[in-house]
Chains A and B, each alone.
Chain A
């Protein structure tokens, strides 16, 4: 059974860069047709999609965050990563990694499973 395990610092200073990693176990990140995504949730609020990466490194991002985000993949370690630059207080959130399941046709992908989430607080 596929499992996702996110990791990274829980506290980041304003203007610094957040770096999170998501380790995938129980399956390969390569060649499945699936994308690998980051989604965040500010405390007490809704979900916001950040972006996605394919095993070959192809990416696409939420336009509202594109200028500050980089998502990358390391197939040799079966993990993918998020970097979010110039952090501000509004970036305080639980950051989830998830698999974007390739629906394989005239349909729409979905997210399953999700990792446990990493609470990141932006504060000096």
Chain B
């Protein structure tokens, strides 16, 4: 089965750049999405097709995907960005989620 691996936690100071990674075998050949989930809330799509932002998602969110790693980057991280972030891809018509990364904004 295909696995997506995420670092369990990332800490950043307000205003700094956050980088959250998602690793998988030849992940760069797949499309990756990213979801933000705040405590007690449902996940929200923040990036789809590797790097596209849905309407309403701030420009500080961006994504990239190459080789074995996809990266969600948040420039000028704000306290409101503190949340769990999950990557997601497809493998043979099956949906795969990463284990999630807890972003703490100190």
Contacts and interface: CB of A to CB of B under 8 A. Distances in A.
B48 A110 contact: yes
A46 B99 CA distance: 5
A69 to B, nearest CB: 14
Interface stretch (A11-19, A23-31, A75-83, A112-120): A112-120
Contacts of B99: 46
Q: Which of B45, B93, B96, B99 has the most CB of A within 10 A?
A: B45
Contact of A46 (B45, B90, B100): B100
Contacts of B45: 110-113
B42 A116 contact: yes
A112 B88 CA distance: 13
A96 B86 contact: no
A96 B98 CA distance: 17
Interface residues of A, number: 23
Interface residues of B, number: 23
Given A103-B49, A108-B90, A110-B49, A47 B97 contact: yes
Q: Which of B49, B93, B95, B99 has the most CB of A within 10 A?
A: B95
Interface string B68-106: 000000000000000000101110011111111000000
Interface in A45-69: 46-49, 60, 62-63
B52 to A, nearest CB: 9
Interface of B: 30-31, 33, 35, 42-45, 48-49, 54, 86, 88-90, 93-100
Interface of A: 37, 39, 46-49, 60, 62-63, 96, 101, 103, 107-117
- Sorted nearest first, the 10 A-B pairs with minimum C-beta distance are A49-B95, A108-B31, A110-B48, A112-B45, A114-B42, A47-B97, A110-B33, A46-B99, A108-B90, A46-B100
16 contacts: A37-B95, A46-B86, A47-B35, A49-B97, A60-B93, A62-B94, A108-B49, A108-B89, A110-B33, A110-B45, A111-B43, A112-B54, A113-B44, A114-B44, A116-B42, A117-B42
